[in-house]
Amino acid sequence: MRNDQLLRYSRQIILEQIGGVGQEKLLNASVLVIGAGGLGAPALYYLVAAGVGRIGIADWDVVDITNLQRQIIHFTGDIGKQKADSAFEKLHQLNPDVRIERLNLQIDSKNIGEIIKSYDFVIDGVDNFPTKFLINDAAVLFNKPFSHAGILRFSGQTFTHIPGGACYRCMFASPPPAGLVPTCSEAGIIGSVAGVIGSIQALEAIKYITGAGSLLSDRLLTFDALSIEFRTIKIKRNPDCPICGNNPTITTLQDIKLPQCDI
Amino acid sequence: MKLVVNGKEEIFDDNEISVSKLLVLKDVKLPQMVSVQLNGEFIQADEHESRMLKDGDNVEFLYFMGGGR
């Protein structure tokens, strides 16, 4: 490690669970963040600040004024820019050491396998069920650990899948009926809830890479901001799970067509 | 009977409560948006009606949350 790196990361190198060894692991690790929005923004900031060596940002969308209330990686002057480009500009300023890859594209069943293969850990920061299920399915089929999260109004939830452990479909076998998915204007979200949950996703990636502590695997963390309560619910791998169960019915990746909730 | 619902112990007057009925009693507006875990096992939606709860059962309602961006 260079001297400037020792200084930059000194406050985490000093931690017993990270140390110089953990920092080297971070510098040599790669994380893909899918969605540079409410969850992706804090996750990207903390991963880049912590010195994860290579970061992928996958987002097809452009910055809109309604994003700025929570997607804190985008600034007012970024309206109209590609989100991956806007995020790249901030992150490169924050830590030019990190190799940041911009993927200005929509993740789908055809490209996701090739994309996630080259990263050590994946963060789901997307806003719609079809892509959340696709990320889960690809992670299970390609043995890739990932952090799932969802946010809604004043609440959020997150869990970490590691190969062999419970997956998203163990809890939710298939996406909810299309008509019941709340639309953006109906649902709403307070930005700092995204900040709480996205920061936990970054923590999980850092813990996975360094081996610090125990992961949020086989557990679902739920957060209710109104009562300010965190709960973890134990989740067992479901033997009837359609993708990771004993007799899986899903063996190839497929795009799910559902209306999106652009929260 | 006594049930632990979402981590909190609750007493119900009724002793004949199905998963479906508990969803009504707990005022769950959109049961299709909830995945039910009973004593650590997931209960398929088509079993909600027939699956009866016992004294001391531990029930968790897991909600779909689709937002992120």
Using one digit for the tens of pLDDT, what is the confidence trace for A85-98? Answer: 999 999 999 999 99
Domain assignment of residue A254, yes or no: no
State the burial class of residue B64 (Cβ atoms within 10 Å of its Cβ: 0-12, 13-18, 19+).
buried
Number of Cβ within 10 Å of residue A242's Cβ equals 17
Domain assignment of residue A73, yes or no: yes
Domain of A147, in residue numbers = 3-234
Q: Which chain B positions have a beta carbon within 8 Å of A220's beta carbon?
A: 62
What total of structural domains would you count in chain A?
A: 1
Determine the pLDDT at residue A263: 43
- Compute CA distances A233 → A126, A176, A222, B6, whole Å: 23, 21, 8, 9
Does the beta-carbon distance from A238 to B42 stay under 8 Å?
yes
Determine the pLDDT at residue A186: 65
Angle between helices A40-49 and A191-210 (to 10 degrees): 40
Q: Which CATH number does the domain B2-63 belong to among 3.10.20.30, 3.40.50.1100, 3.40.30.10, 3.40.50.970?
A: 3.10.20.30
Q: Which chain B positions have a beta carbon within 8 Å of A261's beta carbon?
A: 66-67
Does the beta-carbon distance from A38 to B68 stay under 8 Å?
yes
Domain assignment of residue A256, yes or no: no
Q: Is the dihedral of CA A219, A124, A121, A20 positive or negative?
A: negative
Domain assignment of residue A246, yes or no: no
| ipTM of this complex prediction, to 2 decimal places | 0.89
Determine the pLDDT at residue A178: 73
The pTM score is: 0.94
In this prediction, residues A208-233 reach a mean pLDDT of 97
Distance separating alpha carbons of residues B24 and B15, to the nearest angstrom: 15
pLDDT band for position A257 (cuts 50, 70, 90)? confident
| Interface probe, candidates B6, B46, B62, B69, chain A, greatest A C-beta count within 10 A | B69
Give per-residue pLDDT as tens, B5-63: 999 999 999 999 999 999 999 999 888 889 999 999 999 889 999 999 999 999 999 99
Torsion of CA B46, A152, B69, A183, to 10 degrees: 70
Average pLDDT, chain A: 94
* Percentage of chain A lying above the pLDDT 70 cut: 95
Q: Which chain B positions have a beta carbon within 8 Å of A155's beta carbon?
A: 65
The DSSP H or E segment spanning A27 is: helix A19-27
Q: Does residue A262 carry a pLDDT above 60? A: no
Alpha helices of chain B — where are they, by DSSP H? Answer: 19-25
pLDDT band for position B69 (cuts 50, 70, 90)? confident
Give per-residue pLDDT as tens, A44-69: 999 999 999 999 999 999 999 999 99
Q: Which chain B positions have a beta carbon within 8 Å of A233's beta carbon?
A: 7, 37, 60, 62
Average pLDDT, chain B: 93
Give per-residue pLDDT as tens, A104-160: 999 999 999 999 999 999 999 998 899 999 999 999 999 999 999 999 999 999 999
Domain assignment of residue A173, yes or no: yes
Give per-residue pLDDT as tens, A162-198: 999 999 999 999 988 777 766 554 689 999 999 999 9
Q: Is A43 on the interface with B (CB under 8 A)?
A: no
Domain assignment of residue A261, yes or no: no
Give the list of residues 6+ apart from residue A160 with CB closer than 8 angstroms, or none: A145, A146, A147, A148, A204, A208, A215, A216, A217
- CATH number of the CATH domain containing A101: 3.40.50.720
The DSSP H or E segment spanning A114 is: helix A112-117
- Compute CA distances A169 → A33, A133, A240, whole Å: 20, 8, 10
Domain assignment of residue A188, yes or no: yes
Domain assignment of residue A260, yes or no: no
Nearest CA in chain A to B60: A233
